[in-house]
Structure 1
Amino acid sequence: MSAAGRLRSLHVPGTPLLLPNAWDAASARLVEQAGFPVVATSSAAVAEALGFADGQQAPVGEMLAAAARIAAAVEVPVTVDAEAGYDLPPAELAERLLGAGAAGCNLEDTVPGAGLRDVAEQADYLAAVRAAAGDALVLNARVDVFLGAQDQAAVLDEAVTRARAYLAAGADCVYPILVRSAEVLREFVEAVSPAAVNGNLRPGGDLAELADAGVARVSLGPGLWRAQQSWLADQLAALKPA
């Protein structure tokens, strides 16, 4: 089975694939050594480790080179957070991701500095990536309408509309990022069923609750990176001369 096929097979609603997101070859090896069957990258963590802010501020060549180093360091499939596609034509994005050794990718529907992309435009972009990659990439289409929404229930219908359009365009999974309400997440999962849905495990979050909602994969995002940075800051503070 191909790496993408193995990744795709692990998307089981109710028994989610847990993805501790890595940022370099060393952290990816630790994820693999801990027994996780897939390594995912976090764009925020990778960018910050390279000295840049998240949101496509890092040069695309550096981001993809980091992804290639991660993929070369492990035997398990690697899925890459490709942000909004780095302004690359879809065929070029697919080619460069596959060239880096990626088995999957996240693609978000927010364009940095421009806000949410039109749903039809995003669906067309996803369809073109799918056409270029065939089955060699597992496409996880991020749905960003919950970000910053004061009333997340009020944007549920728009989220479902976007998710269904992205699935129809060829996405394997949809990712309603940062849904705070377990009930809203459950309603979203039911509305797009039987499609795979990606949830977030936030600090102090409950993995069992996400599984009960029916998600098929769970991301930690930059959580491990943030925890590592916090630990390092504490260690440095303790070592600082009086």
Structure 2
Amino acid sequence: MTASVLRSLHHDRAPGDPLVVPGPWDAASARVLVEAGFPALATPSAGVAASLGHEDGSTPAAEMFAAVARIVRAVPASVPVSADIEAGYGLAPKELVERLLDAGAVGCNLEDSADGVLLDARRQADRLAEVRAVAGDALFVNARVDTYVRGVPDGTDPEAETIRRALLYVAAGADCVYPIMAPPEALPALAAAVPAPLNALARPDGPAPRRLGELGATRITFGPGLQRRAMAALREIADGLRTA
């Protein structure tokens, strides 16, 4: 599978018909999601971390890339897999791209914060440009914008700062922007201002994917939400077994 297939899935979508990309955390969950008919998958770093016994943000790079490779091997070659690689594990762009491609991923998330703090937007744009230069068209790059989870400086408008960062990242070669945790009411303005597909996070207490699409989202992901729901279901089963 090539990144061009994943890229094409993001374009020419009607409002209300976003690309829904669920997040498998291991090979078994990936097979279930493909059997359900989803055309693409996007691994969540927090969900993978939990499956490997790590806290979110503390998975060693080698373990994360190995987990992504197992997921890629578990699904048909016709299903593109994108990998959440957090802020890139401190790897130089060339090594980062090589390890993604070696794992079989055709896309990635790269976030613009580290250790809970927003990175300088222009430096992040430069890094994205380096990743794009190394990867060419071989990777679909989803640039995560963390303004709504990390906060912005006092006196700064979160929406305006999100748009500023998103425009820098698109100019640097990002295929998609992901303002994670952006409030649903902000999506129309973000979609109107940013000339690239917009990724929205679906949450259990928020609008359904179709509604997020109507508000301007092109792509819907779930973070570790599916893994957490699966673990909650397992916990309920386990409790039932103890009392049976």
- The TM-score by the shorter chain falls in which range? over 0.9
- Give unpaired runs (5+ residues) of structure 1: none
Q: CA deviation at 1:44?
A: 0.3
- Which residue of 1 is the match for residue 41 of structure 2? 39
Amino acid at match of 2:135: A
Q: CA deviation at 1:208?
A: 2.2
1:81 to 84, 87, 97: 84
How many equivalent pairs are there?
Answer: 236
- Which residue of 2 is the match for residue 62 of structure 1? 63
d(CA) in 2 for partners of 1:233, 1:129: 41
| TM norm structure 1 | 0.93
Structure 1 moving runs of 4+ over 6 Å? none
d(CA) in 1 for partners of 2:151, 2:118: 13
Q: CA deviation at 1:148?
A: 5.2
- Which residue of 2 is the match for residue 99 of structure 1? 102
**Residue 10 in 1 paired to residue 9 in 2?**
yes
**Residue 52 in 1 paired to residue 51 in 2?**
no
SS in structure 2 at match of 1:218: strand
CA-to-aligned-CA distance 1:53-106 (integer Å, 9 cap, x gap): 112x01100000000011111121000001100111111100100000001000
Q: CA deviation at 1:191?
A: 0.7
After the TM superposition, which residues 222-233 of structure 1 pair with which residues of structure 2 at under 5 Å, given as runs?
222-233=224-235
SS in structure 2 at match of 1:35: coil
d(CA) in 1 for partners of 2:215, 2:99: 35
d(CA) in 2 for partners of 1:149, 1:187: 19
Q: CA deviation at 1:112?
A: 2.3
Q: Is the 8 A contact 2:200 2:212 kept in 1?
A: yes
d(CA) in 2 for partners of 1:27, 1:117: 33
After the TM superposition, which residues 164-179 of structure 1 pair with which residues of structure 2 at under 5 Å, given as runs?
164-179=167-182
SS in structure 2 at match of 1:141: strand
CA-to-aligned-CA distance 1:160-181 (integer Å, 9 cap, x gap): 000000000000000000112x
Q: Which range moved further: 165-174 or 196-205?
A: 196-205
d(CA) in 1 for partners of 2:50, 2:96: 22
| TM norm structure 2 | 0.92
SS in structure 2 at match of 1:96: helix
Indicate how the Cα distance of structure 1 residues 189 and 32 shifts in structure 2: closer, same or farther if over 3 A, else same. same
Indicate how the Cα distance of structure 1 residues 88 and 209 shifts in structure 2: closer, same or farther if over 3 A, else same. same
Amino acid at match of 1:197: L
Amino acid at match of 1:198: N
d(CA) in 2 for partners of 1:67, 1:224: 17
- Give unpaired runs (5+ residues) of structure 2: none
After the TM superposition, which residues 109-128 of structure 1 pair with which residues of structure 2 at under 5 Å, given as runs?
109-113=112-116, 115-128=117-130
Q: Is the 8 A contact 2:18 2:210 kept in 1?
A: no
d(CA) in 2 for partners of 1:43, 1:183: 26
- Which residue of 1 is the match for residue 187 of structure 2? 185
Q: CA deviation at 1:149?
A: 4.5
- Which residue of 2 is the match for residue 19 of structure 1? 21
After the TM superposition, which residues 188-203 of structure 1 pair with which residues of structure 2 at under 5 Å, given as runs?
188-193=190-195, 195-203=196-204
